[in-house]
Amino acid sequence: MSGWSPVNAWLPLIVVGTSLVAAAGIFLLKEHRHGLRTVFNLSAAVIKLGLVIWMALGVLDEVAFETRYVLVDGVSFILRADPLGIMFTGLSSLLWLFTTIYAIGYLEDAPNRSRFFGFFSLCVASTVGIALAGNLFTFFLFYELLTLSTYPLVVHRGTEKAMRAGKVYLAYTLGGGAVLLLGVAGLHALVGEIEFAAGAGLRDLDTALNPVLTLIFVLLVIGLGVKAALLPLHGWLPTAMVAPAPVSALLHAVAVVKAGAFGIVRVVYDVFGIEFTWQLGLLQPLAWLACATILYGSIRALWQTDLKRRLAYSTISQVSYIVLGTALFGPVGTVGGLVHLLHQGLMKITLFFCAGNYAETLGVHRIDELDGTGRRMPATSVAFTLGAFGMIGVPPLAGFVTKWYLGIGALDTGMAWVIAVLVASSLLNAAYFLPILHRIWFRPQRAPWPDEHFRDCRDTHPWLLLPTLATATFSLAAGLLAGMPFSPLYWAEVVVLREYLP
């Protein structure tokens, strides 16, 4: 590790800190200082993205970036940039930039913007902290901070409905947090500090402890599964749809569900180690759970009439692809899961941006109101179409890459039935996305738009449109250019090659 220098030891902390500082600054700003707040927001986002790119290049060169600090005896606070962490950090910082731009446009003239953007920044700080956490304890720290910082965003509108959603959200996430804490504390008591590293020595333990370790694994997966919206624990996600669109985008594509899925990846690969998890016989049930969630989410999505709720169930289904990839015992499947971490983020955020655009520009919320929107808002509709095709897995879009790798991975492991699940899921995806596309492009407008704004814009307000187009472009490029360096696939392969090749 030749590139070791004092700056490198601070860099992970600085990356987390940029959003923290931004949050503090925004909290202190008076409500009406819009200009200054925008400067704060955007400069923090840009600086962070720059730092992350720098760190990413360093990581490719195998430079170590690590902040380490003893919290109390036997427990350290560790932030470290490893390839997997950088992958998630990069996604969050990139999407944060776009979401911030989008949110500034979306919330124009809305009340409580200081509070909103303050917690928004805090939320991103937590996500980046989760990504860079170097041990389970640090991970948990930021995982709970994420819960706390997203609550005010969920209830932002302050309506009775939002409050109820907030209550449900808290009940799920705090409960999940408690279970996770039990797991983390139990593991800590058993083996001491657990740093993230492939097969962190658990397999050297006495085999008599295997039942305890299994229990701990279950606790961890339950705790993480709440945020990842795994099957019986997904209830909060559709309810949380009352939040403003940028929040939904953040919850679904970047922060919350991803944090859960990412945590499961960490637990399987970096805490228990994939081989040891396999030996404990835990991968198979995890795969079943993921498949069940995939199918369940897709089926429920079919019946939703509200656009955002349909997207929400679609998220439940899609996030489990990541879990499925993790549960496949083999490098190819792993690549599939990891790459979907990025792909799903790019595609889903595009879809939510579009849903937000429809709602803000035309007041359209329900799917049957979408007729003819393609003509009124062509750019948004193209972005939506790209996202939807990606989700279905039409080649050569991003979703296809994921499903291809997952399928090959499943064959490698001898779990051919997974292919059936993938196919079924793709059909279901098509079944709930294609009718929407049909309405957008091929049906004439039926009634006047419920609540039209921005009449003088060809499509919608540029602050809303530009981020949408940008993420759409990225998700397109992720599929088309999958073979190029620095594509999501490339990163996923780096991660697997470096660390997880069993």
Partner 1 sequence: MSGGEALSWLLVVPLLAAIATLLAPGRWRGWGSLAALPLLWLAFTPVLAAFLHQGTLTTPLGGWSPPLGIALIGDGLALGLVGLTLGVFSLCALFAAADPDPEDHSHLWPLAWFLIAALNGIWLSGDVFNLYVGLELLGLAAVGLVALKGSAEALAAAMRYLLAALLGSLAYLIGVALLYAAAGSLALADLAQLDGGDTTVRVALALMAVGLMLKTALFPLHGWLPAAHGGALPAVSALLSALVVKASFIILLRLWLALDADPLAVVAAQAIGLLGAGAVFWGGWMAWRQARLKYLVAYSTVAQIGYLFLFFPLITGTGTDAARLAWDGTLLMLFAHALAKAGMFLAAGNLVRAVGSAQIADLAGVGRFRPLSLLSFGIAGVSIMGLPPSGGFTAKWLLLQSALASGQWPWLIVLMGGGLLSAVYVFKVLRHAFVEGPTRDTFRSPPTAAELAALTLALSSLVLGVAAHGLLALMRPDALSAVLEGAG
Instruction: Give the footprint of partner 1 on this chain (CB under 8 A).
Output: 27, 69-75, 77, 111-112, 114-115, 137, 140-142, 144-145, 147-148, 151-152, 155, 157-159, 163, 166-167, 170, 174-175, 177-178, 181-182, 185-186, 188-189
Burial of 281 (0-12, 13-18, 19+ CB in 10 A): exposed
| Cβ proximity to partner 1, 239 vs 304, nearer residue | 239
And the tokens for 303? 């019946």
Helix, strand, or coil (residue 393)? coil
Backbone angles phi, psi at 68, to 5 degrees: -140, 140
Q: How far apart are CA 7 and CA 10, in angstroms?
A: 5
Are the beta carbons of 195 and 187 closer than 8 angstroms? no
| Cβ proximity to partner 1, 26 vs 286, nearer residue | 26
| Cβ proximity to partner 1, 186 vs 502, nearer residue | 186
Rounded to 10°, the helix 113-132/6-28 angle is 160
CB of 141 to partner 1, least distance (A): 4
| Cβ proximity to partner 1, 33 vs 443, nearer residue | 33
CA distances from 268 to 137, 200, 321, 402, 434 (A): 16, 11, 15, 19, 35
| Cβ proximity to partner 1, 185 vs 280, nearer residue | 185
CB of 7 to partner 1, least distance (A): 21
| Cβ proximity to partner 1, 115 vs 498, nearer residue | 115
And the tokens for 117? 């953007």
- Considering only CA atoms, which of 350, 255, 239, 386 is closest in space to residue 358? 350
CB of 173 to partner 1, least distance (A): 10
Residue 356 CA, distance from chain mean position:
18
CB of 347 to partner 1, least distance (A): 32
DSSP 385-440: HHHHHHHHT-TTSHHHHHHHHHHHHHHHHT-THHHHHHHHHHHHHHHHHHHHHHHH
Are the beta carbons of 460 and 361 closer than 8 angstroms? yes
Angle at 8 between CA 7 and CA 13, to 5 degrees: 90
CB of 67 to partner 1, least distance (A): 12
- Considering only CA atoms, which of 8, 10, 148 is closest in space to residue 69? 10
CB of 86 to partner 1, least distance (A): 23
CB of 179 to partner 1, least distance (A): 8
Are the beta carbons of 400 and 393 closer than 8 angstroms? yes
And the tokens for 463? 């602050």
For 419, residues 6+ apart whose C-beta sits below 8 A from its C-beta are 407, 410, 411
| Cβ proximity to partner 1, 157 vs 365, nearer residue | 157
Backbone angles phi, psi at 138, to 5 degrees: -60, -40
| Cβ proximity to partner 1, 152 vs 409, nearer residue | 152
| Cβ proximity to partner 1, 28 vs 484, nearer residue | 28
Are the beta carbons of 319 and 259 closer than 8 angstroms? no
CB of 307 to partner 1, least distance (A): 24
Q: How far apart are CA 295 and CA 387, in angstroms?
A: 19
CB of 450 to partner 1, least distance (A): 22
CB of 222 to partner 1, least distance (A): 13
CB of 51 to partner 1, least distance (A): 22
| Cβ proximity to partner 1, 256 vs 328, nearer residue | 256
| Cβ proximity to partner 1, 221 vs 383, nearer residue | 221
Q: How far apart are CA 384 and CA 271, in angstroms?
A: 38
Are the beta carbons of 317 and 421 closer than 8 angstroms? no
